């Protein structure tokens, strides 16, 4: 492959849709039909060109997005096969960010499924050209007319059939292009081509007033003119061609390639924007040009066993050659481009250069992360360069605390998980400073299971997981005072310190205030810092539930010392115990983290979801209706009730629900719940010696 083509000749296409809808098989069939590969692989046999990860082969579904390329009708087509299951939505969104066209696979026998709806709407927001391929047309129980009706009902009447099947199920034997004139309808078509022609033409002319007038006047409009108008309507988001394919028999594949290359969008047809400086200025459109300043965005990274870190770039403007000096506009770090690759699955093909519109990979620029903008202009001008708008990913909502199977592997496990998190924007790793647990978060239990397996396969590390502890906080609601004398005699020098404290609640969020009100030197000045340290350490440990204490003022006002036996340690211990006594008198309260959640579900599940939220101590604050028969519910819910919500939501909505949440603040725990938490903590402390 050499760059003998220009921007207008490029078609970037993502294959998307729900899991098991036949996307990867379609990718194999497209590459084979174009002669880009000489053997059509099989997902079931683990020989697909684009399912290249060991876990993908073992599980027979796509986890990452993978690249391929082909030439057709004088056009250079870059394909990206994306995952179908919602658990791996991050990689699907990465794929959409790198293309101008998306082919959404809808399984003929299964119909529209949850992820197809979501990705259709995401593609609409990005202004991509959308095509729908009804796959598995030779399978049992295919009802083409029912599928088409469901597509139009779900996604709108802009979805029209550009070809119709001849037969369906076992009798499926090909497709008929409805734009070609037919004297009579072929036998065996569940939808007559003449009827489909009417639907297509009426939708095309609707977005072109001059064409509409000619059509209404009865003028016959030529096929080439209709196809050009179809391209414009697709670019305007007013037309979504629907096609039929069967990858097993290679039927409808060339017709799909014809339509995407003739009517699909080039990099010049989709508007992309960026900002200068720190991203707070006005948006500017990025003009695709083969020369001039380089603007490219990282949409995927991977750690290759042999090549090191691979960064996948979508070039939006300019060009890259091996000697191009690349600048990461986020960090200012630079590196030579070196080898430039186009991918055919796991095969890397080196190319001499790449132009705006191309999708390529470069190796060993370790500083690059997903969404980074790469330029060829650095130095003092870096801050003024145009940075591409970042790719938006949903926040991972399923947290798990992790522990290595072998204690000595903790550092290695953290490093391995950090590398995996660098590749996957919907996976995160953090250390909870309050509970001291290492927390990983992903999109689902399946997502985290795959992460766990990758850690084992790549780094030979195993870990166990559990639902993390909720980071409750402890506070008080009344004033109180207490004292404690710490006295020990051990034969030699003893220990002695007596501390009297008062505690008062502070406003929420005020933290901690320590007041030294000792008069007459009843506690010598050199021991006051030890008193404060004892108080702070006890607050960090917690008192009634083992959680951090917040929002209180502690005043030390009296005490006693011993000229020989007093020490910093003695006063620290006395202060900690005095605080515990005072705290327990001051009507202690537990505070729990509260999240604002937005839940998106099919309208049919709305009642079940709202009823379930009430059992989780949730309060609904709003709701909204979305296209495609979906409903959103906004609610305020305790975090403790949401730690396993992803799995339960999936069960309640047959996998069609999703949610996002963010911390809103802390509120008091209801007394009955507080009692359960405190009792559980006290039982766990049985037999634990106090300091």
Instruction: Kindly write down the DSSP assignment for every residue of 332-371, as one continuous string.
Output: --EEE--SEEEEETTEEEEES-EETT-EEEEE--TT--TT
Q: How many domains are there within the chain?
A: 5
pLDDT at 690 over 80: no
> From CA 685, how far away is CA 691, in angstroms rounded?
13
**For residues 300-317, average pLDDT:** 91
Residue 602's domain comprises 591-673
> Is the residue at 690 inside a domain?
no
312 and 286 belong to one structural domain: yes
pLDDT at 689 over 50: no
Please count the other Cβ atoms lying within 10 Å of the Cβ belonging to residue 39.
Answer: 9
> From CA 305, how far away is CA 460, in angstroms rounded?
14
Q: Which residue has the higher pLDDT, 596 or 505?
A: 505
Instruction: Report the CATH number at residue 422.
Output: 3.30.70.870
pLDDT at 653 over 80: yes
> From CA 237, how far away is CA 265, in angstroms rounded?
11
* Residue pointed to by tokens 């078509």: 189
- Of 263, 294, 322, the position where a domain reaches its end is 263
Q: List Cβ neighbours of 561 (8 Å cut-off, separation of 6 or more).
A: 496, 497, 498, 522, 523, 524, 527, 571
477 and 462 belong to one structural domain: no
- Of 536, 558, 586, the position where a domain reaches its end is 586
Lowest mean per-residue pLDDT among 292-296, 360-364, 492-496: 492-496
Instruction: Report the CATH number at residue 601.
Output: 3.30.70.240
pLDDT of residue 398: 83
Please count the other Cβ atoms lying within 10 Å of the Cβ belonging to residue 4.
Answer: 7
pLDDT of residue 57: 87
596 and 539 belong to one structural domain: no
> Is the residue at 502 inside a domain?
yes
pLDDT at 354 over 70: yes
> Is the residue at 406 inside a domain?
yes
> Is the residue at 544 inside a domain?
yes
572 within 8 A of 531, measured Cβ to Cβ: yes
66 and 202 belong to one structural domain: yes
Residue range 107-134, pLDDT digits in tens:
999 888 777 888 998 999 999 999 999 9
> Is the residue at 58 inside a domain?
yes
31 within 8 A of 342, measured Cβ to Cβ: no
H or E, element range at 482: strand 480-488
Instruction: Report the CATH number at residue 375.
Output: 2.40.30.10
pLDDT at 207 over 90: no
pLDDT of residue 18: 87
> Is the residue at 679 inside a domain?
no
Lowest mean per-residue pLDDT among 41-50, 192-201, 615-624, 658-667: 658-667
pLDDT of residue 628: 66
> Is the residue at 200 inside a domain?
yes
- Of 369, 388, 407, the position where a domain reaches its end is 388
> From CA 302, how far away is CA 196, in angstroms rounded?
44
98 and 223 belong to one structural domain: yes
> Is the residue at 666 inside a domain?
yes
pLDDT of residue 261: 98
Closest of 372, 378, 580, 585 to residue 478, by C-alpha? 585
277 and 330 belong to one structural domain: yes
Please count the other Cβ atoms lying within 10 Å of the Cβ belonging to residue 581.
Answer: 17
631 and 514 belong to one structural domain: no
**For residues 137-146, average pLDDT:** 95
Instruction: Report the CATH number at residue 546.
Output: 3.30.230.10
pLDDT of residue 279: 64
341 within 8 A of 351, measured Cβ to Cβ: yes
Average pLDDT over all residues of the chain: 92
62 and 140 belong to one structural domain: yes
259 and 351 belong to one structural domain: no
603 and 641 belong to one structural domain: yes
Residue range 186-197, pLDDT digits in tens:
889 999 999 999
78 and 165 belong to one structural domain: yes
**For residues 234-257, average pLDDT:** 97
Confidence of residue 531 (pLDDT cuts 50, 70, 90): very high
531 and 566 belong to one structural domain: yes
Residue range 2-26, pLDDT digits in tens:
568 999 999 999 999 988 899 999 9
pLDDT of residue 614: 95
Lowest mean per-residue pLDDT among 397-406, 464-473, 494-503, 650-659: 650-659
């Amino acid at each position: 492959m050499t760059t003998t083509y220009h921007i207008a000749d490029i078609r970037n296409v993502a294959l998307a849709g729900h899991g098991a809808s036949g996307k990867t098989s379609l990718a194999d069939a497209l590459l084979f039909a174009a002669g880009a590969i000489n053997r059509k692989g099989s997902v079931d046999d683990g020989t697909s060109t684009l399912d290249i990860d060991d876990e993908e082969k073992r599980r027979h579904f796509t986890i990452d997005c993978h690249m391929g390329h082909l030439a057709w009708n004088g056009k250079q087509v870059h394909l990206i096969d994306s995952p179908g299951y919602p658990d791996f939505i991050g990689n699907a969104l990465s794929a959409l960010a790198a293309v101008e066209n998306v082919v959404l696979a809808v399984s003929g026998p299964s119909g529209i499924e949850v992820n197809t709806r979501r990705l259709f709407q995401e593609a609409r927001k990005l202004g991509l050209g959308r095509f729908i391929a009804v796959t598995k047309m030779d399978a049992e129980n295919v009802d083409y007319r029912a599928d088409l009706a469901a597509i139009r009902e779900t996604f709108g009447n802009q979805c029209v059939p550009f070809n119709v099947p001849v037969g369906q199920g076992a009798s499926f034997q090909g497709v008929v292009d409805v734009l070609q004139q037919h004297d009579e309808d072929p036998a065996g078509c569940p939808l007559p081509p003449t009827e489909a022609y009417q639907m297509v033409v009426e939708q095309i002319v609707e977005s072109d007033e001059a064409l509409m007038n000619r059509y209404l006047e009865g003028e016959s409009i030529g096929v080439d003119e209709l196809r050009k108008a179809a391209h414009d309507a697709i670019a305007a988001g007013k037309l979504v061609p629907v096609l039929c394919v069967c990858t097993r028999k290679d039927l409808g594949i060339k017709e799909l390639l014809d339509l995407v290359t003739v009517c699909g969008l080039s990099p010049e047809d989709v508007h992309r924007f960026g900002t200068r400086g720190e991203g707070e200025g006005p948006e500017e459109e990025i003009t695709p040009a083969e020369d001039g300043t380089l603007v490219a965005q990282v949409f995927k990274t991977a750690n290759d066993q042999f090549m090191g870190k691979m960064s996948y770039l979508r070039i939006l403007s300019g060009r890259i050659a091996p000697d191009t000096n690349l600048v990461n506009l986020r960090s200012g770090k630079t590196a030579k481009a070196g080898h430039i690759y186009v991918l055919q699955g796991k095969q890397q093909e080196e190319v001499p250069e790449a132009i705006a519109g191309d999708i390529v990979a470069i190796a060993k620029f370790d500083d690059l992360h997903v969404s980074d903008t790469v330029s060829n202009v650095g130095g003092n001008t870096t801050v003024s360069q145009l940075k591409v708008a970042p790719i938006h990913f949903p926040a991972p909502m399923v947290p798990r605390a992790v522990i290595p199977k072998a204690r000595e592997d903790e550092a290695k496990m953290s490093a391995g998980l950090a590398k995996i998190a660098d590749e996957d924007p919907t996976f995160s790793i953090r250390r909870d400073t309050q509970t001291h647990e290492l927390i990983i978060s992903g999109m689902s239990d399946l997502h985290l299971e795959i992460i766990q397996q990758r850690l084992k396969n790549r780094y030979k590390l195993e870990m166990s997981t559990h639902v993390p502890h909720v980071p409750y906080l402890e506070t008080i609601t009344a004033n109180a005072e207490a004292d404690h004398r710490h006295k020990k005699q051990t034969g030699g020098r003893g220990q002695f310190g007596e501390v009297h404290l008062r505690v008062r609640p502070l406003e929420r969020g005020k933290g901690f205030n320590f007041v030294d009100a000792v008069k007459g030197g009843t506690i010598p000045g050199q021991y006051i810092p030890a008193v404060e340290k004892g108080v702070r350490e006890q607050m960090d440990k917690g008192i009634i539930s083992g959680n951090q204490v917040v929002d209180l003022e502690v005043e030390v006002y009296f005490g006693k010392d011993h000229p020989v036996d007093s020490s910093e340690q003695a006063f620290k211990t006395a202060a900690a115990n005095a605080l515990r006594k005072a705290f327990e008198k001051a009507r202690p309260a537990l505070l729990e983290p509260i999240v604002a959640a937005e839940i998106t579900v099919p309208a049919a599940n709305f009642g079940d979801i709202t009823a379930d939220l009430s059992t989780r101590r949730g309060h609904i604050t709003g709701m909204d209706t979305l296209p495609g028969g979906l409903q959103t519910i906004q609610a305020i819910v305790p975090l403790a009730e949401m730690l396993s919500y992803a799995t339960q939501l999936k069960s309640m909505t047959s996998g069609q629900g999703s949610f996002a949440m963010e911390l809103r603040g802390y509120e008091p725990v209801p007394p009955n719940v507080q009692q359960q938490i405190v009792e559980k903590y006290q039982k766990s402390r049985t037999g634990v010696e106090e300091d």
